[in-house]
Every structure is written in structure tokens, then in C-alpha cells.
Structure 1
Amino acid sequence: MREFDVACLTPVEPMSGKEILALREREGVSQGIFARALNVRPKLVSEWERGEKKPSGPSLKLLSLVKAHGLVAII
């Protein structure tokens, strides 16, 4: 653990609705399946994709992991 530092962490940057939609489509899943993998409501995924709401906290971290490593990284 002494070798573990910030450089080992997946960077977390804000994501636009278009980026989230593209990410979900890249993974080939519906909003419902994507929501279930992220442990959020399908309506929230829809709101993110339309730009009505922005992901933050744990959801944004999970989206960053999916972006970097694919959906399989979180399920």
C-alpha cells in the first residue's frame, strides 16, 4: 500500500450528456441495463443523456471506469 498514490487512480472528469450516450451505445446496452450496472434509476440515465442533470460523486467515478475499461469493469 505504500506504493499506492494518486497516480494509480482513474481520473474523474465531468461528462456531457452526449459523452454518456456515446459510452452507453459503445457498450451496446439499454438505459435500463446501464442504470442497473451503475446502481441508479433508468430515468436518471435519461436525464444525464439529455443534459438535464449531471453525474457526480460515485456515479461519475463509475462512468469514468466504464469509459476507461468498459462496462465489464464494474459488473
Structure 2
Amino acid sequence: MRHFDVACLTAVDPVAPDDVKRIREKSHMSQATFAKALNVTAAMVSKWERGEKKPTGSALKLLTLADKKGIETIL
């Protein structure tokens, strides 16, 4: 592990409300199911999609992975 290449990590960028919905719909999931995959509440996914809140931290990383590599990478 001492020679871990940071370049292999998936870059994380801010996610817009429309992007959250697009990622969820691309995954063919309801808000409730998508929320379980991300370990958040369905209300939180709804707030992200409406732009009331922004995903941060681990949730943002999981959204990025689901978008770039498919939902299967986080299930």
C-alpha cells in the first residue's frame, strides 16, 4: 500500500440536482431504493433532486462512482 497511486482514485466534482436525478434514473431505481444504496433517506434524495440540499462527503463520492462506473460498483 505504500505505493498507492492517487491517480487511480475517482475524482469527485459537485453534483447538480438534475445530475442526481439522471444518475438515479439511469440506475432504474426509485428514490427510496436509490437512497438505500447510498445509505441516506429517501427525503434526502428528494431534497438533492429539488436543489434544497447538496450531496457532500461519502454520499457525493458514491454518487460519482454510480455515475461514472455504474450503480453496481456501490451495491
TM-score normalised to the size of structure 1?
0.95
Matched position secondary structure for 2:29 = coil
Q: Where does residue 37 of structure 2 map in the other structure?
A: 37
Of all paired residues, the percent bearing the same amino acid is: 52
Task: Tell me what 2:58 maps to.
Answer: 58
Structure 1 segment 1-75 matched on structure 2, within 5 A: 1-75=1-75
Gap regions ≥5 residues in structure 2: none
- Give unmatched runs, 5+ long, in structure 1: none
Structure 1 CA distance, aligned partners of 2:39 and 2:71? 13
Which runs of structure 1 show a deviation greater than 4 angstroms over 4 or more consecutive aligned residues?
none
CA–CA distance in structure 2, aligned partners of residues 62 and 8 of structure 1: 16
Displacement of 1:58 = 0.4
- Cα deviation, residue 71, structure 1: 0.8
